[in-house]
Structure 1
Amino acid sequence: MKQTGGIRIKRSRGTVIFDVCNTLLMIIICFLCIYPIWYVLVNSLNDAKDAMMGGIYWWPRQFSMKNYQTVFENSSVLQAFKITIGKTLLGTTVNVLFTALVAYPLSKNHLIGRKYYMAIGTVTMFFAGGIIPTFLLFKHMYLLNNFLVYIIPAAFNFFNLLIFINFFREIPVSLEESAKIDGADDFKIFYKIIIPLSKPVLATIALFAGVGQWNDYFGGLMYMTARPDLEPIQTYLYRMVAQVQSSQAANSISASNITAADTTSTSIKLAAMIITTVPICCVYPFLQKYFVKGMMVGAVKE
């Protein structure tokens, strides 16, 4: 029986079976998504040498914060975190503002050449220049071993532009017309009216761009060959994992001068993985309400 507004509605056996199966399926999916993170967290909070014996699945057997202490004491790790935080904040800001600035005029049907610009942008969603041409282009632009290689290439994304365009079209044209009557130009309308009304889509694109910047390891791997001090934490972790696998030494520490008697390369790796995951997990709940609304608007085909 299901009670709705004081009226008891009898549910059919098929509906009950479906609800039970659906609930069990969702529980299984949630478990499969959450448990790997929980496993990494538990092992990172366990004593490194004890964890090497295995058998730790649900709770730490010998609780220890030595792994995290070692990570934060290492200058290379801290430098990698600084680069990651810097490129995430700056790259996200540039991407959101620049993409919005391009999307606003393209949301107007009277823009000269609009269809031509949209056609060119659509092609870039399905075809890319390739790794070697991109590398040569960045070389001629003097972006190799330069912090700006994280910012300039990621300043624009056509998929994000489509979401912006669909959102801007939902804003009443009367607002812009009234502002123009009061003497406001296009730039003033954009910054004073359009941007303040676009919090949902701004938060959505910021989340997309921020997660992409935070998780990116390929840029540091390909374009920072001579500047390891400019590598982000994800590239740092990639090199750590690659070295551990190639050395095949269970207790060897990565070549980044991480040395501690009570830690291993695996324990350091697990602790660093948790540290890199926590910031995104903390940011997402605050952006979720804007994210859902922004995606609903962006779901309409342009």
Structure 2
Amino acid sequence: MKVSASNVLPKNKIKRTKGERAFDFVNVSIMVFWAIVSVYPFWYILVMSFNTGADAATGPIWFFPREFTLENYAYVLQYDRLHSAFIVTVLRCLIGPAISVIVCMLAAFTLSKRFLPGRKTLLFFFMIPMFIGGTIISNYVVMANFGLLNNFLVYILPGAFGFFTMIIMRTHIEQLPDELQESAMMDGAGYVRIFFQMILPLSMPVIAAFAFFAVVGNWLDYYTNLLYVTDRNLSTLQFVLYEIINRAEATQLIDFTSTSSASQRRLMSMQNNTVPTPEVIKMTVMVVVTFPLLFVYPFFQKYFVKGMLTGAVKA
């Protein structure tokens, strides 16, 4: 006996009203519109980075490059200090978040013990820097006294501990069943073994979420390099890219010193098509800065919601 499609599919389908269909259409249209509005600025930056600077100065570019070129990326990537700065930044993004996660997790595990003497006092003193921060001069004096000027550790130690991160991790640890640690202690496990073999594996969503935040913060930071590091061998990628933008703007200023009117400056820019303008250099630098993070983000995305929620609600 053959089974027809009419015998398998339900005969009484739920019919949707015109109002429901209209609501879905409007809802989807709004979501598509906001998606385009959110994505288009990134697309515009990418398009500008692949367009010649002289052509970009003649008028706005909307969807695709009018004059495609790779000279902008060649101009940025040929900078002699870029490769060493990239290595320094990668080491900073690997070592810094790892130390930060370990320090915050150790502090969170310790402060999750309610029998700890002076627990509330420690929390109070850890909370003070969240509301009272030092000035640039005072921070510089502290870095100088600790010997962190022109030292790679200036990228690691000042951001090793974060009170907010520690509080979320502590709340997550407190939400774990106490019976797990009690049973482990009855089997002879100490606090060190409980921390590394029980607490850390159960806290991976929280660790992954905050590790990614730390990686992004270390990757995008150039302020530390600007204030505390003058050794060119310790320059970070963001600081070198900042120098490239300044150099491009300075070069344009020197080249256009002899011209006074806007029409003369635009004519000179159109005649020199091979030299990228500061505008397209900025767009190219933005792409170089954000491109590596686009590959890291998908590996951590699944941990964000779970990691933030597990430690955000106090039991």
Q: TM-score, normalised by structure 1?
A: 0.85
Q: Give yes or no for the alignment of 1:191 onto 2:163.
A: no
| DSSP 3-state at the match of 1:144 | coil
CA contact (8 A) 1:251 1:264 kept: no
| Structure 2 CA distance for aligned equivalents of residues 16 and 212 of structure 1 | 44
Query: Which amino acid in structure 2 is aligned with residue 144 of structure 1?
Result: L
Following superposition, the deviation at residue 168 of structure 1 comes to 0.9
Residues 214-254 of structure 1, C-alpha deviations (whole Å, 9 max, x = no match): 11111011111x213322122223333345556653979xx
Counterpart in 1 of 2:14? 8
> Size of the alignment, in residue pairs?
289
Which structure is richer in relative contact order (CA contacts within 8 A, separation 6 or more)?
2
Bigger Cα displacement from structure 2, 181-190 vs 229-238: 229-238
Of the structure 1 ranges 153-162 and 38-47, higher mean CA displacement relative to structure 2 is found in 38-47
Q: Partner amino acid for 2:142?
A: L
Q: CA deviation at 1:134?
A: 0.8
Q: Say if 2:310 is the partner of 1:297.
A: yes
Contact 1:217 1:232 in 2 (8 A): yes
Distance in 2 separating the partners of 1:121 and 1:264: 48
Q: Does 1:158 align with 2:163?
A: yes
- Pick from 107, 111, 120 the counterpart of residue 102 of structure 1: 107
Shift of 1:22: 5.1
1:295 to partner: Cα distance = 0.9
Partner of 1:237: 241
**What is the match of residue 274 of structure 2?**
262
* SS, match of residue 152 in structure 1: coil
Superposed CA deviations along residues 271-295 of structure 1, whole A, max 9, x for unmatched, are: 2221210111221121111111011
Which residue of 2 is the match for residue 282 of structure 1?
A: 295
CA distance in 2 between partners of 1:106 and 1:145 (Å): 34
CA-to-aligned-CA distance 1:123-181 (integer Å, 9 cap, x gap): 22211122211111001111111111010001010010011011111222222122212
Within 2, Cα distance between the matches of 1:19 and 1:130?
53
Cα-Cα RMSD: 2.8
Q: Structure 1 24/261 Cα, relative in aligned 2: closer, same or farther at 3 Å?
A: closer
Q: Is the 8 A contact 2:169 2:206 kept in 1?
A: yes
AA of the residue aligned to 1:190: F
Tell me the amino acid that sits aligned with residue 291 of structure 2.
V
The residue type equivalent to 2:276 in the other structure is T
Give the equivalent residue in structure 1 for 2:7.
none
Query: Any conservation in 1 of the 2:53–2:273 contact (CA below 8 Å)?
Result: no
SS in structure 2 at match of 1:119: helix
Structure 2 residue aligned with 1:139, among 140, 144, 162? 144
- The 8 Å contact of residues 84 and 233 in structure 2, kept in 1 or not, is answered as yes
Task: Supply the distance in 1 between the matched residues of 2:158 and 2:87 (Cα, whole angstroms).
Answer: 20
| 2:182 partner letter | E
Paired AA for residue 14 in structure 2: R
Matches within 5 A, 1:49-198: 49-198=54-203
> Match of 1:169, SS?
helix
188, 194, 206: which is aligned to 2:211?
Answer: 206
Q: Distance in 1 between matches of 2:134 and 2:41?
A: 36
Task: Name the stretch that deviates more: 171-180 or 64-73.
Answer: 64-73
**Contact 1:48/1:264 (CA < 8 Å) preserved in 2?**
yes
Contact 1:251/1:265 (CA < 8 Å) preserved in 2? Answer: no
Point out where structure 2 has 5 or more consecutive residues left out of the alignment: 1-11, 257-271
Moved over 6 A (4+): 15-18
Q: Which amino acid aligns with 1:264?
A: P
Code of the aligned partner of 1:113: G
* Residue range with higher mean Cα deviation, 146-155 or 84-93: 84-93
Secondary structure in structure 2 of the residue aligned to 1:195: helix
**2:253 match: secondary structure:** coil
| In structure 1, C-alpha distance between the alignment counterparts of 2:292 and 2:187, rounded to whole Å | 44
Is the contact between residue 85 and residue 237 of structure 2 (CA under 8 Å) also seen in structure 1? Answer: yes
Q: What secondary structure does 1:262 align onto?
A: coil
1:8 maps to a residue whose letter is I
**Amino acid in structure 1 at the alignment position of 2:296:** V
Give the structure-2-normalised TM-score.
Answer: 0.82
Alpha carbons 2:172, 2:312 under 8 Å: kept: no
